[in-house]
Every structure is written in structure tokens, then in C-alpha cells.
Amino acid sequence: MGYGKSGQNARGILTRLYSRAFIMAEPTGPNRRIVFVSVDIGMISQRLRLEVLNRLQSKYGSLYRRDNVILSGTHTHSGPAGYFQYTIFVIASEGFSNRTFEYMVTGIVKQNQPPWGLLTNTLKLLTIPSSNALSPPSPVLRLLFVHRDLVYVVLPP
């Protein structure tokens, strides 16, 4: 994608770009799930999202839909361009590239990793952060608005 400067062309691979999919499903209802996909590109185009959803639905049926698949770009400027459907985004890349688009869609949809588990834990916060300095002056009121349990999820690398 570069920085939108025409003539700034790259060829080949210096560093590989990846997509990472995290699928979270309820143990009691595995069909109830949400998918978050982080893709090493500038941003997700509408055309890219629609084609990924079409391919997922042709592969898995109604399991993955518009309402449970989130595609997110990492906002890297070192990724390829030419995958948007709108002119303003493909000016610097000299137009739409079917080849780039196909590589991206295929790479996102491809299943090439075994399933991982998620680790969760709870951390008890013992101090009130300085961001609460503007909270109500009464100590009783101040403590009512502090949630001291921080639950976090560890995703695989």
C-alpha cells in the first residue's frame, strides 16, 4: 500500500505478511461462535470482506456470516496495494490487481494451523490508577466505581 506515492513500487517479498484467525466458540454450542481475523495489510476493503465471506460460506455453509466474522487490517504500509474497489485507494498502485486480491482472499480463507486453546486468568488490581483523580471526592463513591478484577485472555502467538 505504501504511502500513496505514485512510483513507489515494490516487487518480491522482503518480509512475509500473515493473517491470524481467532475463533471463539461456546463449549455448549459450537455453532455459536465469533471469528476475529487480523490481516497484515493497510485496511480491509469492502470487496475483500465480501469475497472472504463468500468463500467461507461456500466452504462451511452458514457457520460464518457477516454478523460473526470480523476482519481487521494491522494498518501496515508495507503491504500490497490494488485490492480496493474504489479508485482513490488504487491510484498509487496503478489500478486494481486481480492477482493481489486473489492471493489475499485465498490466504485469509486458507486453514493452515491446528486449533489452539485460549488461556484466561483474573488479576486483582490493588491500586486505583491516577486516571481516577477526577472521580468523585468521597472515598465511598470513588470505590463504588472501581472494578478491581481484570479478566484477560491470552491468544497464541
- The C-alpha atoms of residue 154 and residue 157 are separated, in whole angstroms, by 9
Name the residue among 68, 60, 70 with its Cα closest to residue 37: 70
Report pLDDT digits (tens) over 6-55.
677 767 777 788 898 888 888 787 788 899 999 999 899 999 999 999 99
pLDDT above 60 (res 140):
no
CA diameter of the chain: 63
> pLDDT digits over 38-47, tens only?
999 989 999 9
Q: What is the pLDDT of residues 88-123, one digit of tens each?
A: 777 777 788 888 899 999 999 987 767 777 777 787
Cell 483523580 locates to 133
Parse the chain into domains and list their residue ranges: 19-109, 119-154
The pTM (predicted TM-score) of the whole model is: 0.72
75 appears as a binding residue in the annotation: yes
Give which of 17, 57, 15 is closest to 35, Cα–Cα.
Answer: 57
Query: Measured between alpha carbons, how far is 5 from 88 in angstroms, rounded to an integer?
Result: 12
